[in-house]
Each structure stands twice: as C-alpha cells, then as structure tokens.
Chains A and B, each alone.
Chain A
Amino acid sequence: EPEVTQTPSHQVTQMGQEVILHCVPISNHLYFYWYRQILGQKVEFLVSFYNNEISEKSEIFDDQFSVERPDGSNFTLKIRSTKLEDSAMYFCASSGAGVEQFFGPGTRLTVL
C-alpha cells in the first residue's frame, strides 16, 4: 500500500542552524502539507502546497520557513535559523483528488 515517507526520523541541530526535512508523498497525490506537533500539544497546520505553490499557510509559517518540491517526488521543509521552540515532531501529509490526508511517520526535530 502506498505511503508517505519522511527522512530523517530524528534530526538534532544547534540553535541558529538551518535544517531541511524531507518527505516523499504518495506518488499520484497532488496536494502536500506540513504539520507539527510540539510534545504534549495538538497537531498544528503549517502549510499546504499545490501546483508548485503555497496555497495556504498558518501564522507559525513565518519567513524562517520555506517549502519546495525540487523534483517530481520530493517535498521539503526548510527552517533557516532554528530556534529552541522549533523543537517538535514534523509531519508531512499528502492527498489526492479526494480529500483524505495521509500522514508520514514524522521527523523529530531537536534544537539544542
């Protein structure tokens, strides 16, 4: 069964460093998303992406964040200068022509 994959599973970085989180959505899906979940808190929407551009973003998704679909299969989230409060589990999701969103296993980001 097709699934969303994410790498790495765990990323540790120093405050101020740039990180790139990688996702491979389900191959025939057209809509892509990033969410995050700070430990013990709700899952929060960051950004949605369709037709090679951002279609919606939340207040969390400020200028430090960017997304890219560099080729036909990958979807990346970049954080330019990480802060301690960026420590969270980051989930990638995708959906097809239907509306059901399928989530990846997540990348745990730890900022020291």
Chain B
Amino acid sequence: KQEVTQIPAALSVPEGENLVLNCSFTDSAIYNLQWFRQDPGKGLTSLLLIQSSQREQTSGRLNASLDKSSGRSTLYIAASQPGDSATYLCAAEGDYGGSQGNLIFGKGTKLSVKP
C-alpha cells in the first residue's frame, strides 16, 4: 500500500531564504507526482505536476524534482516571501492495481515565512 511522508511537518524561515521541502513514497510504481499548496480553510492549488518520465518541473520560483528509484521528490522554493506561507502537500498517483487517478497525499509541510 502506498504511503506518502513529508518532512519536515513544519518549517519557519526568514524572508529571502531558499528552502527545500521533502516528500517520500514507498511504492515507486507511480504515474505522476503532484505538489499542491493549501491555505488555511481553503482548497488545494496545484503547483507542479511531474510525470513519471520526467525528473523535474519548474514554475517561477518553484522547482520540483522526482527520483522514482529512491522514492523521493523535493520542492525547492527560491527567495521565499511571506506570501509563500501555506501548507504544501505532495500527492502520488500510481499504478497500484489499476487505481490511476487516485492521489495518495502526504500530511503536508506547514511553511511560515517571516518578514
């Protein structure tokens, strides 16, 4: 059964720092890995999708990498800003007995960027 773990659970950094959020998954038979942002009491905003044939994706100050063999993905945020404060979730979509489309989520990393 796929398990997704995110470390750290919470992170507080001063504005301007570059930071890395980690995501690990137990079953490497994934189709895709998707990173989301969740603001308190709100829905999930898709940030980046990495397909299994890709190793990384970039959008603005965000860069996500995927290493299927080691079961890891990282989200790199450059030059962090207070507006980046949110919970960041990673989710793996996999070939777990045909359940394509079923995203398995980690519990998230709660990021606080201090001015």
Q: Which residues of A pack against B, CB within 8 Å?
A: 31, 33, 35, 41-45, 48, 50, 55-56, 58, 91, 93, 95, 98-106, 108
A100 touches B102 (CB 8 A): no
B interface, over-half SS: strand
A100 touches B101 (CB 8 A): no
Q: Which of B34, B42, B45, B101 contacts A31 (CB 8 A)?
A: B101
Beyond contacts A43-B103, A56-B101, A99-B31: 8 other A-B pairs, Cβ-Cβ < 8 A, are A43-B89, A45-B103, A45-B104, A55-B101, A56-B99, A99-B32, A99-B93, A100-B46
A43 touches B105 (CB 8 A): yes
Query: Number of contact residues on B: which range applies?
Result: 20 to 34
A interface, over-half SS: strand
Which A residues are in CB contact (< 8 Å) with B46? 100-103
User: Measured between alpha carbons, how far is A45 from B98 in the docked complex, in Å?
Assistant: 14
Q: Which of B41, B51, B91 contacts A43 (CB 8 A)?
A: B91
Does B72 sit within 8 A of A, measured CB to CB?
A: no
Q: Which of A31, A33, A42 contacts B105 (CB 8 A)?
A: A42
A-B contact pairs, 27 of them (CB 8 A): A33-B101, A33-B103, A35-B103, A42-B107, A42-B108, A43-B91, A43-B103, A43-B105, A44-B105, A45-B102, A45-B103, A48-B101, A56-B98, A56-B100, A58-B102, A91-B43, A91-B44, A93-B44, A99-B32, A99-B93, A100-B34, A100-B49, A101-B103, A102-B46, A103-B43, A103-B44, A106-B43
